[in-house]
Structure 1
Amino acid sequence: MYAPYLPPTSSTAMNIWSTPFLRRNQAAKTSKFPQESKYALIILNQPFSTPLFRQLWDASEWRCCADGGANRLYDLEGIVDRRECFLPNLIKGDLDSARPAVLEYYDTKAVPVIHDRDQDSTDLMKCVAALTEVETRENVQYDLIILGGLSGRLDQTIHTLSYLHKLRKQRNRVFAVTDESVGWVLDTGEHTIEIEHKALGPTCGLLPVGIGGTILSTRGLRWNLSNTPSSFDGMVSTSNHLVPGCDQVWVKTSKPLWWTAELRPF
């Protein structure tokens, strides 16, 4: 029998997570999502589907291509004849991957192209730095959506895991999204995750990445944990399941860890 979601009884401050940028059919109603947060989108140099791209593009107010992400946007099936409708606010990186013809096209459309030669930062880090400059001018912090970063080359995936682990100290909300899954870092403490069942599931996981281990408790999952040690040397909650009809998951963790959920096809 599934364990129901039970509200936590402690007085610890609660972190609330939701993913309105994944709600189906919202983009078809308006050009922008009705949303509480402002979203920024960084497109990485990894494959993604047109439906997922459109969903995230419509949800975002600021968009940036990280180097070869410009190629992915330029070549994307279904928008080739309407590229002028999908112009990013910025292309930035060391530009060793973006094709010259692609950069030339966006330059003619007045899209800023910044060649950052710093070899101590990745293209993703360069784009986040650019977003921070925008936020300083606007006196606001966007919730950040990274399109890509959790598939392809293993070293690049590890960089995404590591970088978002560090960003938890600087930014309130950072999400990594691929066609297969969405994930983000839950910092030490208690979290309530609002579940969009039409977008997420059925599988999910709690991954102790970048830490020696954590003590983990959950409510609202098929296989819940109660003060359970979790580490790479011990138990890892992979292939857990969201519970149909249960719209919230509660997580308490003694150390930062990754939450990930399967993303249903658009």
Structure 2
Amino acid sequence: MSSRSWNLEFLTSFSHNRILIILNQPFSLQLLKLVWNSSKWHYCADGGANRLYDLLMSCPPVPMLLLSHTPPRYRPNLIKGDLDSLRDDVKQFYSSNGIPVVQDQDQNSTDLMKCVAAVEELEKTEGQEYEIVILGGLAGRLDQTIHTLSYLHKLRKIRNQVFVITDDNVGWVLDNGQHTIDIDHSILGPTCGLLPVGIDETILTTRGLRWNLTDHPSSFDGLVSTSNQFVPGENKVYIKTTRPIWWTAELRDLTFQSKSEDKRPGLQLLT
């Protein structure tokens, strides 16, 4: 049985091997700062560029720095999708500032899938695999949330690290096997969950949670471990699952993070 270790370094440190994909859902400036400044590359999936533009333009003095700062900050490397959501003013702003805006009209792929395809093209050019962090995708329209759940379930077969984050929670797919997850209680909690999405049933064993399981079946027709909790002082959670399962954890209020963010190696605040 395979064994994996996980952490949330994309919330604490910069990596040259990380790409951020911004979806068309709302997010806070605090969360944007953390995930943007920890990633080397930044892609917007169609209307995700609207969200980025509108948020930055609504937060002085960001607009001035967005336009004039050297090197430029908070400018995406790529905007890609079928462009049915990208506003004309946003398209004009970014394209006039040298940001590639790529239209892909393939109706058999979503804007998120189109951006992941762009990541794969970059990986072929650079000869390395990137960790992907998706901003958005677990809120808003139910059909889009289900797509996120389904797509990451598929991506687990071909990619090592794909995370999804919103202002409320972070999640990813744990493949069948054993997993150890590092828990930073200043960022995560107190609640978490194990969701048997896309499978008929799995057998779960856990340690490090308030309500642990031992060889217990989990399915939509049976037990679903929602609203579980981390144990104070326990810095690791152990999970064994016989089938792929979604792991989610509550994200604490990030407003306090901005006060100490500038002290973290590799992270720079927009100030």
TM-score, normalised by the number of residues in structure 2: 0.88
Task: Give the letter aligned to residue 81 of structure 1.
Answer: M
The number of residue pairs the alignment matches comes to 245
Query: What is the aligned counterpart of 2:117 among 129, 135, 140?
Result: 129
Equivalent residues of 1:182, 1:262 under 8 A apart:
yes
Question: Alpha-carbon deviation of 1:127?
Answer: 0.2
Name the residue aligned to 1:62. Answer: 41
Q: Does 1:20 align with 2:3?
A: no
CA offsets, 1:236-255, max 9 Å, x none? 00000011111110100000
Residue in structure 2 matched with residue 263 of structure 1 by the alignment: 251
Q: Classify the secondary structure of the residue corresponding to 2:206.
A: strand
Local SS of the residue matching 2:146:
helix
Aligned pair 1:75/2:41, yes or no?
A: no
For 1:58-207, list aligned pairs within 5 A.
Answer: 58-76=37-55, 77-78=58-59, 79-84=62-67, 85-207=73-195
Q: Output the CA distance in 2 between the equivalents of 1:137 and 1:194.
A: 32
CA contact (8 A) 1:74 1:83 kept: no
Deviation track 1:132-176 (CA, whole Å, cap 9, x = no partner) reads 100111111111000000000000000000000000011100000
Measured at CA, do residues 257 and 54 of structure 1 come closer, stay the same or move farther in structure 2, by a change above 3 Å?
Answer: same
Instruction: Report if aligned partners of 1:74, 1:80 keep a CA contact under 8 Å in 2.
Output: no
Q: What is the CA–CA distance in structure 1 between the aligned matches of 2:2 and 2:37, rounded to whole Å?
A: 32
SS at match of 1:240: strand
Does residue 47 of structure 1 match 2:30?
no
Residue 34 of structure 1 and its aligned partner are, at CA, apart by: 5.0
The one-letter code of the counterpart of 2:34 is Q
8 Å Cα contact 2:45/2:79 also seen in 1: yes
Q: For 2:32 and 2:108, how far apart are their aligned partners in 1?
A: 29
Amino acid at match of 1:200: L
- Determine if contact 2:14/2:37 at 8 Å carries over to the other structure: no
Q: Which runs of 5+ in 2 are unaligned?
A: 68-72, 255-271
The one-letter code of the counterpart of 2:151 is Y
CA contact (8 A) 2:44 2:79 kept: yes
Percent identity between the aligned chains? Answer: 61
Deviations 1:201-235 (A, max 9, x none): 00000000000010000011010000000000000
Partner Cα distance (1:123, 1:83) in 2: 25
After the TM superposition, which segments of 4 or more aligned residues of structure 1 sit over 3 Å from their partners?
none
Q: Is the 8 A contact 2:176 2:241 kept in 1?
A: yes
CA positional deviation for 1:39: 1.2
Q: Does 1:243 align with 2:226?
A: no
Q: Aligned partners of 1:102 and 1:197: how far apart in 2?
A: 38
Instruction: Look up the equivalent residue of 2:184 and give its one-letter code.
Output: E
Distance of 1:170 and 1:254 partners within structure 2: 19
1:14 maps to amino acid = S
Deviation of 1:13 after TM superposition, in Å, equals: 3.5
Q: CA deviation at 1:81?
A: 3.1
Unpaired runs of 5+ in structure 1? 1-11, 24-32
Q: What CA distance in whole angstroms lies between the structure 1 residues aligned with 2:43 and 2:176?
A: 30
Single out whichever of 96-105 and 70-79 deviates more from structure 2. 70-79
Between the aligned partners of 1:226 and 1:263, the Cα distance in structure 2 is 26
Alignment correspondent of 1:6: none
Say yes or no: does 1:222 pair with 2:210. yes
Name the residue aligned to 1:26.
none
Local SS of the residue matching 1:61 = strand
The code of the aligned residue for 2:147 comes to H
CA distance in 1, matches of 2:139, 2:77: 25
